[in-house]
Amino acid sequence: MTAILNLIYCWLLDMLAKLTDIALNAWDSVLGPADSILSSIGTGGLTIPVIPAQYAWILGATGMAQAVAIIATAMLVRFTLQSVPFVRWGS
C-alpha cells in the first residue's frame, strides 16, 4: 500500500512541476515579444542635456539650481493639496 501512495505522491509532484513549466512557458511567450519591442527602443535621446553645460555651471555656482528646485517643489505640493476634493482652487 505504501508503494502505491509513494507512486501517487511522486506522480502528483511531477504533474505539479509540469503544470508550473507550462504556465511559465506561456507567460514567457507572452512577454517575449514585449521584451524584444522594448529592447529595440533607442535610449540615445535620453542622454541629451536639456540645459547646456555653461548655463548649468552658472546655475550651480550661484545657487539658482537649489532655488528653482525649492520653488518647483512648493508648486507641486500646492497643486497636490489643492487637488483634494472639497478644497477651493482659488485659495
For residue 33, the enclosing domain spans: 1-83
Using the predicted structure, report yes or no on whether residue 88 has a pLDDT greater than 70: no
Q: Which helix (H) or strand (E) holds 31?
A: helix 2-40
Rounded to the nearest angstrom, the gap between the alpha carbon of residue 32 and the centroid of all alpha carbons in its chain is: 18
Q: Which residues contact 64 (CB under 8 A, 6 or more apart)?
A: 58
pLDDT tens digit string along 40-79? 887 766 676 777 888 888 888 998 888 989 999 999 998 8
Domain tally for the chain?
Answer: 1
Domain contains 88: no
Asked whether residue 16 carries a pLDDT value surpassing 90, the answer given is yes
In a domain, 89, yes or no: no
In a domain, 35, yes or no: yes
Its pTM stands at 0.40
| Contact in structure between 56 and 49 (CB atoms under 8 Å) | yes
In percent, the amount of the chain with pLDDT more than 90 equals 37
Q: Does some domain include residue 91?
A: no
